[in-house]
Structure 1
Amino acid sequence: MLEITNLSVNYGAIRALTNISLDVKTGEIVALIGSNGAGKTTTLNTISGIVPVAEGSISFKGRNITKTPPHQIAALGIAHVPEGRRVFPRMSVMENLEMGAFTRNDREGVRASFEEVFQRFPRLEERKNQLAATLSGGEQQMLAMGRALMAKPTLMLMDEPSMGLAPMLVEEIFNIIRAINQSGTTILLVEQNAHMALSIASRAFVLETGNIVLAGAASELAANPEVRRAYLGE
């Protein structure tokens, strides 16, 4: 579904990513793990078209999207749940969800998507007229995920969905991610909580200072002594 080949990204004179290659197959959860500043968020922002590519290519379902504008990438079926949630604070829950559906013209389909989102996140329906700024951190994360689902994506990019959440909420968020995947959405997951990420992913890549240093089955990486020492607290 997604193929990144020899991708390099610069921030001015600083190279953030160096010749990285990775792929995501239809139906997978693929985890991208690494320490702060490794380039994980940059990778997702580059796929979404927010950050320009210096070298290399990105293809989605066989189509080259390397220089495609972000709004067109969203319309192709890639939804991005950004780091820090980035909900629209002065808009209501309903208005935030409507923004997620901005690429769609099918009113009946959008109405059905509202129902699906509210079934998955009952708390959002309870708070649908509240301003997003008044929600808790966990509720804002649910809203960011619900907003992405409103686009009916085939690929979701999730950036640090557990950041700042209580352990009980982290468990809930990861159960929801697993359920979204099981309902047919492919997921590329960036997550600081490497243990949780590797527990739900089928494959994973390890990013260090802009380079992919390890790749393989998530279960194999979870058992790798180097990964356990660096990212699993052992």
Structure 2
Amino acid sequence: MLTVKDLHVYYGAIHALKGISLEVRQGEIVTLIGANGAGKTTTLHTLSGLIKPKSGVIRFQDQDIAGMAAQKIVAMGMSQVPEGRRIFANMSVLENLELGAFLRKDKDGIKEDMEKVFTRFPRLKERTSQLAGTLSGGEQQMLAMGRALMSRPKLMLLDEPSMGLAPLLVQEIFAIIKEINEAGTTILLVEQNAHMALSIAHKAYVLETGKIVLSGPAKELAESEEVKKAYLGG
């Protein structure tokens, strides 16, 4: 579904991504783990069209999307749940969800997807008219995920979904990510909580200072001494 080859990204003189290559197949959860500043968020921003790469190939469903406008990429079926949620705080829960579908014209489909979001996140249904900024951190994460689902993505990019959440909520959010994947959405997950990410992913890549240093089946990486030492506190 997604192929990235030899991707180079610069912030001014800083070489942020140094030739990374990765693959996401349909139906998978693929995770990108690494320390703060390794280039994980930069990778997602480049894939979703928020940053233009200096060079390299990004193919999504057999189309070259490197440097394409972000809204076109969303229309093709890739949506991002940004780091820190980025919900619209002064708008209601319902308005936030409706914004997720702003590129769509199929009213019946939108209504159907809204019901699906409320079935998956019952807490959002109870709070439809509440201002999004007054939700708890976990509820805001659910809203950000629900908003992304409203664009009916084929591929969902998730950036640090566990950030700032209590351990019990982290478990809940990861269970929901797994459900979303099982219902047919392919997922590329960026996460500092390597233990949780590896527990639900099919495949994993380890990013260090803009380079992929390890990759393989998530189960294997979770058992790797190198990964245990660096990311799993073992």
TM (normalized to structure 1)?
1.00
Give the match for residue 145 of structure 1. 145
Q: Distance in 2 between matches of 1:139 and 1:197?
A: 20
Give the match for residue 156 of structure 1. 156
Could you tell me which amino acid in structure 2 is paired with residue 5 of structure 1? K
Give the match for residue 125 of structure 1. 125
Once the two structures are superposed, what CA deviation does each residue of 1:118-151 show, in whole Å capped at 9, x if it has no partner? 0000000100101110000000000000000000
Q: Distance in 2 between matches of 1:67 and 1:137?
A: 32
**Deviating runs (4+, > 4 A) in structure 1?**
none
Deviation, structure 1 residue 61: 0.5
Q: Distance in 2 between matches of 1:158 and 1:210?
A: 19
Q: Distance in 1 between matches of 2:112 and 2:232?
A: 40
Tell me, which stretches of 5 or more residues in structure 1 are unaligned? Answer: none
Deviation, structure 1 residue 67: 1.8
Give the match for residue 181 of structure 1. 181
Matches within 5 A, 1:1-234: 1-234=1-234
Please give the secondary structure, in 2, of the residue aligned with 1:94.
Answer: helix
Q: Distance in 2 between matches of 1:227 and 1:51?
A: 29
Once the two structures are superposed, what CA deviation does each residue of 1:10-38 show, in whole Å capped at 9, x if it has no partner? 00000100000000000000000000000
Q: Distance in 1 between matches of 2:18 and 2:30?
A: 20
Q: CA RMSD in A?
A: 0.4
Q: Distance in 1 between matches of 2:79 and 2:148?
A: 5
Deviation, structure 1 residue 103: 1.2
Once the two structures are superposed, what CA deviation does each residue of 1:70-95 show, in whole Å capped at 9, x if it has no partner? 00000000010000000001110000
Q: Distance in 1 between matches of 2:88 and 2:67?
A: 27
Please give the secondary structure, in 1, of the residue aligned with 2:165.
Answer: coil
Please give the secondary structure, in 1, of the residue aligned with 2:215.
Answer: strand
Deviation, structure 1 residue 57: 1.2
Please give the secondary structure, in 2, of the residue aligned with 1:188.
Answer: strand
TM (normalized to structure 2)?
1.00
